[in-house]
Amino acid sequence: MEEHLRRLVVVAHYDPFGEVAPHVLRHVAALGEVADRLLVVTTAALTDEARAALGGIAEVVERDNYGYDFYSYKTGLDHVDDLTAYDEVVVCNDSFVGPLRPYPAIFDAMAGRQVDVWGMTLSRRRTLHLQSFFVVFRRWVVGSQAFAGFWRRMTPVSDRREVITRYEIGMSRAMLEAGFVLGSYFEEDERDARLAGARHLWQVGSHVVRLPRRRWLSATRRLAPEPWNPMAALADRALDDARLPVVKLDTLRYDPYRLGSDMLLAKCEQRYPEAFAGVRDFLQRTAAVYPLREHENGPTTPPPGVRQLLGY
């Protein structure tokens, strides 16, 4: 895997104000380093300024705002005549801050790994799947019937949960059923797993106690066996020499595990001042557009003991 690999990158972008946030622009530029062709598919009504900024570093495809990021991925892939001309096809979105490590280093590390499809993280929630904010397909996968069929059969879906079921989880299922092997750049070690397990229990418990007493049992039964979401439960691994080289904006915005995401943001700003420049501002500016969802909290400050033991 030492020879030059031809790479196509499709980025899904959305901004409620038609802008391109600074961290997004930096990310697209970083992708430019590893991409032979770089497409940004945006569902934002871009301002001229934003369009000019993006157009300077990538091909921009504008489309109406429906179908979430997956439909933007599909639009981008459909835009390219011959996908099999590339050794790797990357799809990613703008929902995170990073990379906190240079992309060439990340791709080089993955070059020797015997996997067919890979992402930043593998989640076991519901069933084993690659988290769809960043996924890389290798040449033989791009040429497969499973890959072509998955994108061909895709129709726009406007419900977030359904997008997750049908497309995020569905994509991994389609790949596994075709016989392909999934892998991730970030690999949990035993320590990670122990910590994430404890954090997950805390999250479940703190959620359940806020419910009416009669729902405790059923809620616990429903939530406790679910594995954790690594992007939230181990978000601070970004600080561990960027082993997890991205931070999801959702983690900062909603703090789903009640681990003190304000603290996380502060630490990140301190550790990666360039990468996080403008992020706090972006979160504040867009807060009104991203209301709280079920099981989510907004930035919290956990009690001191918990904070010390489990917090970010």
Partner 1 sequence: MSLRRGVRKALSKQPVTRRLLRQVDTERRAAVITRSGLFDVEWYSLQAGRPFPSRHAAVADYVRTGRLAGLSPHPLFEPEWYEPKGWRDRGREPLARYLTKRTDIAVRSPHPVFDVERYVRDHPDATEHPGGPVGHFAANAGADAWLSLSHLLTGGSGEISWAAVQRLLEDTVRRWSEQQRLRSAPRRTPTFDTAAHRRAVADASGWAPPAADGEPLVSVVIPVWNRPAQIRQAIESVQRQTLAEWELLVVDDGSTDDTPAVLEGIIAFDDRVCVLRQERGGVSRARNLGIEHARGRYVAFLDSDNEWEPDFLRTMTAMMERANLSAAHGIVGIDQAGRRTYRVFEGGREHLLVGNHISLIVLVVRTSLLRDIGGFAEDLRRMVDYDLVLRLSERSAIPLVPVLGAVYAEDEGDASRITVREPLSWDYVVRSRHLVDWQSARQAPRRSGRVSVLAPVADDWQATQRFLEGLLDSGVDDLEVVLVEGASRRAVSVIHACLAAAHGSASVHRLPTPYNTAYAWNVALANSSGERVVFADPAFDLRPGWVAELVAALDDDDVLAAQPLLRGADGTIAGAGVTFPVRGGVPAPFLAGHPVEDGVAAGSHEGRYDVPALAGGVLAARAADVLAVRGLDPIFHNGWEDTDLSLRLRAEHSGHGGRGGRCVVVTAAEGLRTGERDEGTSRAGAHNLRTFTERWSSVAAADDSSLWRQAGFEVARYRADGAEAGATPGVLHAVTNRRVARVTEGTAAGLPALRWSVKIAAPVGQQGERWGDWHFAQALAAALRRLGQQAVVDTPESFGRDTAYLDDVNLVIRGRAAVEPVPTSVNLLWVISHPDLVTGTELAGYDAAFSAGTRWAREAAGRAGVRVETLLQCTDPSRFHPGVAQPGTGEPVLFVGNTRGVYREVVHHALAAGVDVAIYGSGWDRFIDPRHVRGMRLGVDEAAAKYRAAGVVLNDHWEDMRVEGFCSNRLFDVVAAGGRVISDRLDGVEELFPGAVRTFRDAAHLAELLRTPPEELFADETARVDLAARVAQEHSFDARARRLLDVAAEHRPG
Three-state DSSP at 291 gives: coil
Beta bridge partners of 38: 9
User: Contact region for partner 1 (CB under 8 A) — 109-117, 195-203, 220-228, 264-272?
Assistant: 109-117
Q: Report the DSSP pairing between strands 129-130 and 122-123.
A: antiparallel
CA distance 76 to 182: 22
**Using the rule CB under 8 A, is 32 a contact of partner 1?**
no
Q: What is the largest CA-CA distance in the chain?
A: 61
Q: Among 180, 189, 79, which Cα is nearest to 138's?
A: 180
Going from the C-alpha of 257 to that of each of 27, 29, 103, 186, the distances in angstroms are 26, 31, 28, 19
**Using the rule CB under 8 A, is 184 a contact of partner 1?**
no
Number of residues that bind partner 1 (CB under 8 A): 16
Q: Which is nearer to partner 1, 69 or 116 (CB)?
A: 116
By CB under 8 A, name the one of 61, 110, 178, 198 that touches partner 1. 178
User: Contact region for partner 1 (CB under 8 A) — 44-52, 111-119, 154-162, 193-201?
Assistant: 111-119
Going from the C-alpha of 307 to that of each of 224, 304, 310, the distances in angstroms are 21, 5, 5
Q: Among 133, 140, 220, which Cα is nearest to 185's?
A: 133
Beta bridge partners of 93: 12
**Using the rule CB under 8 A, is 180 a contact of partner 1?**
yes
**To the nearest whole angstrom, how small is the minimum distance from the Cβ of residue 132 to partner 1?**
20
Q: Which is nearer to partner 1, 112 or 305 (CB)?
A: 112
User: Contact region for partner 1 (CB under 8 A) — 39-47, 126-134, 172-180, 190-198?
Assistant: 172-180
Report 112-131 residues binding partner 1 (CB under 8 A).
Answer: 112, 114, 116
By CB under 8 A, name the one of 23, 138, 199, 237 that touches partner 1. 138
- Calculate helix-pair angle for 22-32, 48-55, nearest 10 degrees: 20
Q: Which is nearer to partner 1, 148 or 193 (CB)?
A: 148
Beta bridge partners of 62: 42
Report 142-171 residues binding partner 1 (CB under 8 A).
Answer: 143-146
Q: Which is nearer to partner 1, 13 or 138 (CB)?
A: 138
Q: Among 33, 36, 34, 42, which Cα is nearest to 11's?
A: 42
**Using the rule CB under 8 A, is 85 a contact of partner 1?**
no
**Using the rule CB under 8 A, is 139 a contact of partner 1?**
yes
